[in-house]
Amino acid sequence: MTRGERHNLKLGLCFVAPWLIGLALFQIYPIAASFWFSLCDYSVLQPAHFIGLGNYHDLAGDDVFWLALRNTLGYAAIALPLGLVTALATAILLNSGVRGMAFYRTFFFLPSLVPAVASAILWLWLLNGEYGVLNVLLGKAGVKGPGWLSDPLWTKPALVLMSLWGVGNTMVIFLAGLQDVPQQLYEAADLDGAGWLGKLRHVTLPMVSPVILFNLIMGIIGSLQMFAVPYIMLPGGQPARSGYFYTEYLYDNALPYLQMGYASAMAWILFLITLACTFAALRLSQRHVHYEGA
């Protein structure tokens, strides 16, 4: 290397050093530390004691762990596809040329800007079994509303319903993808006599399939990490722990119970589950995702 090249290399390293230091301190080290603690009996107050796969063995026989995992996967299996369909349908409607479309787009996007804690408190009132707005409206229609947050059968549907209220971010991404669909394809479909359903199936969905895949992966990650809303609306997962999610149990082990090694093992299991679901989504979508120019 010449003297000038060495100077440029040192200068470049100085520029990227803050980022590299931050990456090492706040990402690489916590990841490595959590993996080590998952192999240890670590209560934060005492030094970590290596126990190998003991935490993972204990998790295999932990009934609460399996309950929280079933609750999380059950919620994700319902909320994720419904959220994608709702967001895509809303984006298609908002992509039309109706007057006042800017107002409608803002109206549907605003709920996604409300913080999770504020949304949870708001929906606590909306879903109140006796005085909630939703049950009052159902009563006027002649339908007796359920105990959304007091009946174990209705806690997950209540959380799913609330999740549909905040699909604004996903909707905006879908809307951006829809606006990139070439109009020539719709014109060609019209010449072939295709109806709106044919254009949706053969033009719209294939062209926005990469956006669908992106939102699917982000939805998998977000739904498996569900925490704030059930933690506020269903303290302790009550009733009957029907709303006790995986991340809540992880949090309880890490802080109130001070079982940091146990919680670290749970975190790595959640990471592997998320990785497996993401990999499955990518593999299953290979034949169904159309990339422009590919």
pLDDT of the residue at 100 = 84
pLDDT of the residue at 1 = 76
Residues with Cβ within 8 Å of residue 211, at least 6 apart in sequence: 173, 174, 176, 177
pLDDT of the residue at 294 = 56
Residues with Cβ within 8 Å of residue 77, at least 6 apart in sequence: none
User: Cα(69)–Cα(85) distance, rounded to whole angstroms?
Assistant: 24
pLDDT of the residue at 290 = 83
What phi and psi values does residue 50 have, to the nearest 5 degrees?
-65, 125
For 111, the token pair is: 């709920």
For 257, the token pair is: 């119970």
**Which candidate, 76, 85, 82, 81, places its Cα nearest to that of 205?**
85
For 232, the token pair is: 């506020």
For 115, the token pair is: 């913080």
Q: Which amino acid is at 19?
A: W
Q: Which amino acid is at 286?
A: Q
- Looking at the whole model, is its pTM more than 0.85? yes
Are residues 40 and 180 in contact, defined by beta-carbon separation less than 8 angstroms?
A: no
Q: Which residues of the chain have pLDDT under 50?
A: none
**3-state DSSP assignment of residue 41:** strand
Domains and CATH numbers, the chain: 63-284 (1.10.3720.10)
pLDDT of the residue at 130 = 86
Give exposure, 8-45, as e/b (b: 16+ Cβ within 10 Å): eeeeeeeeeeeeeeeeeeeeeeeeeebeebbbbbbeee
**Which candidate, 162, 131, 168, 165, places its Cα nearest to that of 229?**
162
**3-state DSSP assignment of residue 120:** helix
